Amino acid sequence: MLRAGSKPAADGVERRHPEQLILQQLREGRPCTVEELLERVPELTWAQLFLAMDILSRRGDVELSRQGFTYSVRMRPGSAGGGNANGSARPDHR
């Protein structure tokens, strides 16, 4: 059975949207840098991570702040990590 925000793959394995993977990491721990987030979610490429962070930031779920040569990412206080049922701000953002 598929959960909301999941999509079946050709191999039958359940896949989650990049936004959900990022929110899960931020809910489970402290704010982190972009590099730390890439280490925590190795299945995402840089491009997927940046697109997902853009979506989450525009949606108001996360806050990005510049720290030297990188960015720190954290859940926005009071955010439930919403979005629509499939976890994206737009119907198809691929």
Instruction: Name the stretches of the chain with pLDDT < 70.
Output: 1-14, 80-94
39 token code pair: 């280490």
**Contact in structure between 83 and 59 (CB atoms under 8 Å):** yes
Question: How many angstroms separate the CA atoms of 64 and 53, rounded?
Answer: 8
E runs forming strands in the chain: 6-8, 14-16, 32-33, 62-67, 70-75
Q: Read off the DSSP letter of residue 61.
A: S
Domains of the chain in start order, with CATH, are 15-75 (1.10.10.10)
The pTM is what? 0.67
pLDDT of residue 31: 86
pLDDT of residue 1: 41
